[in-house]
């Protein structure tokens, strides 16, 4: 009995506390300024040509709820939130039901967001998934419910929701898909449009009419079930042949919103917009987006990866001389995964780390002809530790090879010997100068890319090499203006020469050999299989770990990096390792079509010499292979090649 009294008192106290808390919250929200729903977070993004590619919560045409076709309203409520007019912003029945279904299925198969919550989500800048974001959403949903009527909330929702193909808001959607106002929609048209926000890319009838029709049937069935229409009306609407006015164009890119999210992430990091500014003001963001580059990238991803829905991609393309990020993709399809791997992910980079080691080597007296013995090797380290790296495919010449071949073949033994010879600080210092901000560990395997790095900072470092040693901080935003045209922020060039242009030229020339078929011998250059696709001059490096595949390459104008792998770190199979190289080649070649070949002029302190690339020695008439290579004046080889005589001796004696 005593226990029951205690529990009763606790219940009364808890109930009283909840009432006081909600009363406080209610009056606090009522006393704070109301959001202007037509202006809140009204963001417009422009590409490099000052053309709009994204309109945020501000709609081109805002239509009042009383002018929206009633069938569209009924269809939306029926499928999205059938208790919209009776709950307080949170549908507790639906929450409990969805939790049960998700537990039973062992996976998230059903959501419970109300129209108020979805509208609150639309009013925020990013789609990151974390508790802080969810709390903000819940708070804003509560503010909406307290400060606005249900009709006002529904009106705002319909005017800001994504209807696919870059179309925001029901009035814009009605005009885009059916060339009419939202007040003149038929039941067939309304039920089609109401289904699109569930997955704008998949359910847009212009993108996928089969999926859109299936979704329309679900909408119509829900309207019948909820008493909005009869079975006969449903069948008639479903069987009505619809004609679509809108046409696919360059803005119909499933990866474009990754660029948008990266822009908004950069805006947040710039910290130039007051936290409450967007509550009542709109902004215009002028970006570096090049739609030709973005289209080339997306088309390459879609054409090169087929029959594998699980594998993912991230990629960044940069203009070297300025640091402008002109294209990127943080995944394969934004509608299926909003996680932006460009801004948030870090992955092992594999052998694409080696160029920073070899720049350090060149700076410390190495040349294209410097040799190390490449054979199976166990390295003795401190504390009685050993390290036994292996070449890809366990292929070794078992004789000394020059840096020329070490780069072209991505020889791991040569890399580790160079690393230990120079000291573990050498590669770290170069990488940091070039733009890698992640703290790199001092360990023997660092040149083989065992450390995880973000693709944006990694591309930045490569772009420094590509820009002849001049470092730019990569950026997406050129300028930010208020609605009144007043400039709030403008990017300032902070470029700085951090690497020697003589050595970057020599390194770039070495990386140019990675698709040179004349260098095939006991092994083949790592990018030889994409050589048929390449019509221009590039420096390229690949990198592969068990779980990550990279291709990073550049010419004088642009740097492009591509990563391919699985979000769950599943091991790659052999066919997975071809994707990154092909995406890289197809993107850069499509984008470069019609442009002149862009390569570097030889610096005055660099000399060119014809050598045998298998030995690094000066070529003679009898040399089996000949290659023009570059050296800092005074470091070029002086010993003549003996037609591989020395190597033949080594082969015979091994």
Residue that has been written with the tokens 């709820």 in this structure = 65
Distances 87 to 74, 82, 145, 274, 650 between C-alpha atoms, Å: 17, 10, 9, 33, 83
Please list, in sequence order, all residues whose beta carbon lies within 8 angstroms of the beta carbon of residue 549, skipping any fewer than 6 positions away: 350, 542, 543, 563, 564, 565, 572, 576, 577, 579, 580
Please say if the pLDDT value at position 328 is more than 50: yes
- pLDDT band at 648; cut points 50, 70, 90: very low
pLDDT of residue 484: 82
- % of the chain with per-residue pLDDT over 70: 81
Higher pLDDT residue, 36 or 270?
Answer: 270
The answer on pLDDT for 130 being more than 80 is no
The whole-number pLDDT of residue 113 equals 75
- Structure token digits, residue 361: 């080597």
Residue 111: C-alpha distances to residues 97, 211, 220, 570 (Å): 9, 20, 20, 27
Local structure of 369: helix, strand or coil = coil
Would you please indicate which residues are annotated as catalytic (active-site) residues?
Answer: 80, 351
Q: What gap in Å lies between CA 297 and CA 521, rounded to an integer?
A: 33
Task: Give the confidence band of 650 by pLDDT, cuts at 50, 70, 90.
Answer: very low
Give the residue ranges of DSSP H helices in 50-186: 70-80, 92-105, 115-122, 131-147, 150-160, 170-178
pLDDT tens sequence across 551-597: 999 999 999 999 999 999 999 999 999 999 999 999 999 999 999 99
Among the listed ranges 207-211, 308-312, 351-355, 631-635, which one has the minimum average pLDDT value? 207-211
- The pTM score is 0.78
pLDDT at 365: 96
pLDDT of residue 293: 97
pLDDT tens-digit profile of 239-252?
999 998 875 444 55
pLDDT tens-digit readout, 478-503: 999 988 889 999 999 999 999 999 99
Show the 3-state SS of 298-365: HHHHHHHCCCCCCCEEEEEEEECCCCEEEEEECCCCCCCCCCCHHHHCCEECHHHHHHHHHHHHHHCC
What is the band of 135 on the pLDDT scale with cuts at 50, 70, 90? low
Q: Give the total residue count for the chain.
A: 654
- Cα-based torsion angle of the residue sequence 601, 605, 609, 611 in order, rounded to the nearest 10 degrees: -100
Count Cβ atoms below 10 Å from residue 39 Cβ, excluding itself: 15
Residues forming a β-bridge with 534: none
- In order of start, what are the domains of the chain with their CATH numbers? 61-252 (1.10.3810.10), 324-478+491-592 (3.40.710.10), 606-653 (no CATH)
Indicate the average pLDDT of the chain.
Answer: 86
Is the predicted pLDDT of residue 457 greater than 80, yes or no? yes
pLDDT on residue 652: 44
100 pLDDT above the threshold of 50 = no
Confidence bin at 231 (pLDDT 50/70/90): very high
More confident residue, 15 or 526: 526
Mean per-residue pLDDT for 401-405? Answer: 98
Higher confidence at residue 211 or residue 126?
A: 211
Mode of pairing for the β-strands spanning 371-374 and 399-402: antiparallel
CA 72 to centroid of chain Cα atoms: 35
Do residues 507 and 537 touch, judged by C-beta distance below 8 A? no
pLDDT value of position 654: 38
**215: helix, strand or coil:** helix
Mean pLDDT of 516-543: 96
Separation of alpha carbons 56 and 273, rounded Å: 16
Q: What average pLDDT does the segment 584-613 reach?
A: 97
Residue 91 in this model has a pLDDT that exceeds 70: no
Asked if pLDDT for residue 288 goes beyond 60, the answer is yes
Burial tier of 45 (Cβ tally within 10 Å: 0-12, 13-18, 19+) = buried
At 292-308, the pLDDT tens digits run 999 999 999 999 998 89
Q: pLDDT at position 207, please?
A: 80
* pLDDT value for 543: 97
Q: What is the pLDDT of residue 85?
A: 78
In this predicted structure, the answer to whether residue 10 has a pLDDT above a threshold of 90 is no
Q: Which of 591, 598, 542 is nearest to 300 (CA)?
A: 591
Residue 651 has pLDDT above 80, yes or no: no
pLDDT computed for residue 124 by the predictor: 58
% of the chain beyond a pLDDT of 90 = 65
Range of lowest pLDDT (74-88, 116-130, 356-370, 623-637):
116-130
pLDDT of residue 498: 98
Per-residue pLDDT band at 96 (split at 50, 70, 90):
low
pLDDT confidence of residue 584: 98
**Confidence (pLDDT) at 134:** 59
Rounded to an integer, what distance in angstroms lies between the CA atom of residue 356 and that of residue 425?
11
């Amino acid at each position: 009995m005593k226990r029951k009294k205690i529990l009763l008192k606790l219940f009364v106290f808890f109930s009283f506390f909840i009432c006081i808390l909600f009363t406080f919250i209610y009056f606090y929200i009522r006393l704070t300024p109301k959001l202007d729903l037509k202006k809140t977070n009204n963001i417009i993004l422009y590409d490099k040509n000052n053309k709009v590619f994204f309109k945020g919560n501000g709609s081109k045409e805002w239509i009042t709820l009383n002018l929206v076709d009633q069938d569209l309203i009924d269809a939306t409520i029926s499928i999205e939130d059938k208790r919209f007019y009776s709950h307080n912003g949170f549908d507790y029945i639906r929450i409990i039901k969805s939790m049960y279904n998700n537990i039973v299925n062992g996976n998230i198969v059903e959501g419970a967001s109300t129209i108020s919550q979805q509208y609150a989500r639309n009013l925020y800048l990013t789609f990151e998934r974390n508790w802080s974001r969810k709390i903000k959403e819940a708070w804003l949903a509560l503010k909406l419910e307290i400060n606005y009527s249900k009709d006002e909330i529904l009106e705002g929702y319909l005017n800001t929701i994504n209807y696919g193909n870059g179309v925001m808001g029901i009035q814009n959607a009605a005009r885009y898909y059916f060339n009419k106002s939202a007040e003149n929609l038929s039941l067939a048209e309304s039920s089609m449009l109401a289904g699109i926000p569930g997955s704008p890319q998949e359910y847009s009838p212009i993108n996928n009419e089969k999926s859109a029709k299936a979704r329309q049937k679900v909408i119509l069935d829900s309207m019948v079930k909820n008493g909005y229409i009869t079975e006969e009306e449903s069948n008639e609407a479903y069987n009505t042949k619809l004609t679509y006015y809108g046409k696919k164009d360059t803005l119909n890119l499933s990866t474009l919103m990754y660029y948008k999210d990266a822009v908004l992430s950069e805006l947040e990091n710039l910290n130039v917009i007051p936290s409450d500014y967007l509550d009542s003001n709109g902004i215009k963001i002028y970006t570096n987006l090049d739609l030709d580059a973005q289209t080339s990238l997306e088309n390459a991803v879609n054409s090169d990866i087929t029959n594998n829905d699980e594998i993912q991609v991230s990629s960044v393309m940069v203009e070297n001389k300025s640091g402008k990020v002109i294209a990127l993709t943080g995944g394969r399809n934004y509608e299926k995964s909003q996680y932006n791997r460009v801004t948030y992910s870090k992955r092992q980079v594999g052998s694409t780390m080696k160029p920073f080691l070899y720049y350090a080597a060149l700076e410390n007296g190495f040349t294209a002809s410097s040799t190390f013995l490449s054979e199976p090797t166990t390295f003795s380290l401190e504390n009685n530790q050993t390290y036994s790296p292996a070449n890809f495919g366990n292929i070794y010449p078992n004789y000394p090879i020059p840096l020329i071949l070490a780069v072209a073949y991505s020889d791991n033994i040569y890399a580790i010997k160079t690393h230990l010879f120079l000291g573990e600080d050498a590669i770290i210092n170069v990488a940091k100068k070039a733009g890698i901000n992640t703290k790199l560990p001092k360990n023997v395997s660092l040149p083989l890319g065992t450390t995880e790095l973000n693709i944006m900072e990694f591309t930045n470092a490569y772009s420094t090499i590509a820009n002849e040693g001049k470092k730019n901080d990569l950026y997406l935003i050129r300028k930010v203006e208020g609605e009144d045209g007043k400039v709030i922020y403008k990017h300032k060039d902070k470029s700085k020469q951090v690497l020697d242009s003589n050595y970057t030229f020599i390194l770039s020339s070495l990386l140019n050999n990675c698709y040179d078929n004349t260098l095939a011998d006991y092994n083949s250059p790592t990018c030889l299989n994409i050589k048929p696709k390449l019509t221009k001059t590039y420096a390229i490096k690949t990198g592969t770990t068990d779980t990550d595949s990279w291709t990073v390459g550049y010419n004088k104008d642009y740097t492009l990096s591509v990563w391919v792998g699985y979000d769950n770190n599943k091991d790659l199979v052999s066919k997975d390792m071809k994707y990154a190289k092909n995406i890289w080649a197809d993107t850069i070649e499509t984008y470069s079509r019609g442009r002149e070949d862009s390569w570097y002029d030889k610096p005055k302190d660099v000399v060119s010499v014809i050598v045998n690339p298998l030995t690094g020695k000066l070529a003679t008439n009898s040399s089996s292979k000949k290659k023009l290579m570059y050296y800092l004046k005074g470091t070029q080889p002086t010993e003549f090649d003996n037609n591989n005589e020395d190597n033949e001796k080594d082969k015979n004696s091994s």
